[in-house]
Amino acid sequence: MKKILGSLSLTFASVRLCGIIVFSLYFGLSSAQVKTISKQITYRLFLIGDAGNDTTVCSSLSEVAKSSEKDPNATVILLGDNVYPKGVEKGNPNSERVRISEKKMGVQIDAFHDFTGQFYVIPGNHDWKKSRWGGLKGVKNERAFVDTFSITHTQASNKGAVMFPGDGLPGPVMKNINPYVNMIMIDTDWWLQGRFFHPIGRERINGRKLSKHQADEKFFVALDSLLNIGKTTGKWSVIVAHHPVYTNGRHQQSYTVWRNLVNYTPMQIFGLLGVNRLLTSNIYQPCYKEMRKKLKKTIDKYDHVIYASGHDHNLQYFHIDSNFYVVSGAGSKGSQIKKEKFKCECSCDHHKGYAIIEFKNGKEADLHFNIVGPSSEIFHSKLE
Ligand SMILES: [Zn+2]
């Protein structure tokens, strides 16, 4: 059997090779020219976060849809907080609450009805029911809705398998989205949710449930090995997550007094009950701090890693050590940049917008920030 399969694959390989030679001879192309043609393709990655504030498509997502529509080499990713305020809701399908939340999600997928590239969605804190009780059920429900809805409402090449990671698990899930890029999807809210009354997806090995600590260790070993694949194969690794590693936006405010009260005094009972949910999404909160430290430590072992996120409702770009950090959370909301805590190459907090990264010729990558309106590009930089 093995022999048959071996000779079959050899035959396919020979047929493919003959095809390329015939094609080249017929069109009078040398192998170098054929290579050049494949090199000329630009693969675009559209990054847009926090786009689900309305029951109609927000203007920035509408621009992304228009710009990517005829490009089968494009990948679009929604970077979380896909439906405000509490994700796609579960319950009586005729209730206004459920209907509106499904509509907010549905219009975003439907905007890509003729798109034949790849379309992905990752969860944010609002998709986990705004960090309230029932967040795990909420994020599972949203995934089921997104994957099912995408089957009939988009021509994306991955329709039916759009939202990752699933089951309230942290990931990492890697997709080879084009010859130059491995995209690694993670659910950062998994670290911020795991509290009393706030269950999270449980990893299993051979049917045995892992503790959060064990699952956390497993995650970072896996992330490290995926980044290593990028390094050894000479491809870009693009991590996409909802929560930023670096931000100068609203979510880097420290709220020191209140944070200390709910974390280190008897008032932490309020933290256990989830009353401190407004803080959990800020980078100084202990769970976030810990996750961020581990992400940084893992990413810092490599160079030319891109980490893209949403969460803060603006556009920011950081080039720190040899890696690149992009915040693109200005899909449907806007919020001010606060003091410059981290050295930022570019930031914009006046407009709705999105980011595009163009990949070509192997290691070449260009970052663009676009805002809604006629003079749409506001920033352009080579990632090198
Ligand atoms: Zn968020």
CA 239 to centroid of ligand 1, rounded, Å: 17
295, 237 contact by CB (below 8 A): no
State the pLDDT at residue 37. Answer: 47
CA 251 to centroid of ligand 1, rounded, Å: 9
User: What average pLDDT does the segment 62-85 reach?
Assistant: 96
pLDDT, tens digit, for every residue of 1-33? 444 434 434 344 444 444 444 444 444 444 444
What is the pTM (predicted TM-score) of this model?
0.85
pLDDT, tens digit, for every residue of 158-169? 999 999 998 899
CA 82 to centroid of ligand 1, rounded, Å: 9
Of 166, 172, 173, 174, give the one whose Cα is nearest residue 201.
Answer: 166
Residues 6+ apart with CB under 8 A from 298: 220, 223, 224, 227
Beta-strand pair 181-185/75-78: unpaired
Residues with CB under 5 A from ligand 1 (ion): 81, 124-125, 311
Beta-strand pair 236-240/305-309: parallel
